[in-house]
């Protein structure tokens, strides 16, 4: 019996080897999540802002454009470094102000309220659910706007 179970597992692995993952869907339409995002069941193309030698994805939510990625930044002090895979909690407010790309700023309370209000009357908890990523949060979010 163990021999047949092992063979069945090998067969399943062989059958699934090389199969492509299911495509991302948005309102029933397939899209590439590397270049596009889903916002309210509509496929939208990421915008980009160039910082140094790297392009960072941006998304439009309501009338605002938001960065969809954390900046990778290493300041003069080696301790001031933030990689995309880390928690990015090593910046002081002053350091974060210094690294904003030209024409960008840290969001003000008014910016956050405008973002929240795009949700047509959602409270802060409901807005947070729609802004959070589908993974990495407990409870997970819905990433309604392609923000995460």
- The pLDDT assigned to 73 comes to 66
Per the confidence metrics, is the pTM higher than 0.85?
Answer: no
| Start-to-end C-alpha separation, the chain | 47
| Rounded distance between C-alpha atoms, residue 37 and residue 133, angstroms | 12
**Residue 45, pLDDT above cutoff 80:** yes
- Average pLDDT of the chain, as a whole number: 75
Instruction: Print burial letters for 41-65: b (CB count within 10 Å at least 16), e (below 16).
Output: eebbebeebebeeeebbbbbbeeee
| Rounded distance between C-alpha atoms, residue 144 and residue 131, angstroms | 6
């Amino acid at each position: 019996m163990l021999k047949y179970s092992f063979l069945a597992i090998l067969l399943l692995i062989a059958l699934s080897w090389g199969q492509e993952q299911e495509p991302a869907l948005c309102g029933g339409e397939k899209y590439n999540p590397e270049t596009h995002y889903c916002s309210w069941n509509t496929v939208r193309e990421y915008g980009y802002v160039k910082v140094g030698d790297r392009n960072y994805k941006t998304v439009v939510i309501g009338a605002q454009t938001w960065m969809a990625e954390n900046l990778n930044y290493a300041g003069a002090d080696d301790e001031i470094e933030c990689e995309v895979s880390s928690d990015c909690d090593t910046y002081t407010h002053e350091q974060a102000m210094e690294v904003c790309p030209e024409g960008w700023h840290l969001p003000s309370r008014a910016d956050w309220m405008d973002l929240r209000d795009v949700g047509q009357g959602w409270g802060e908890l409901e807005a947070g659910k729609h802004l959070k990523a589908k993974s990495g949060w407990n409870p997970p979010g819905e990433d309604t706007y392609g923000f995460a």
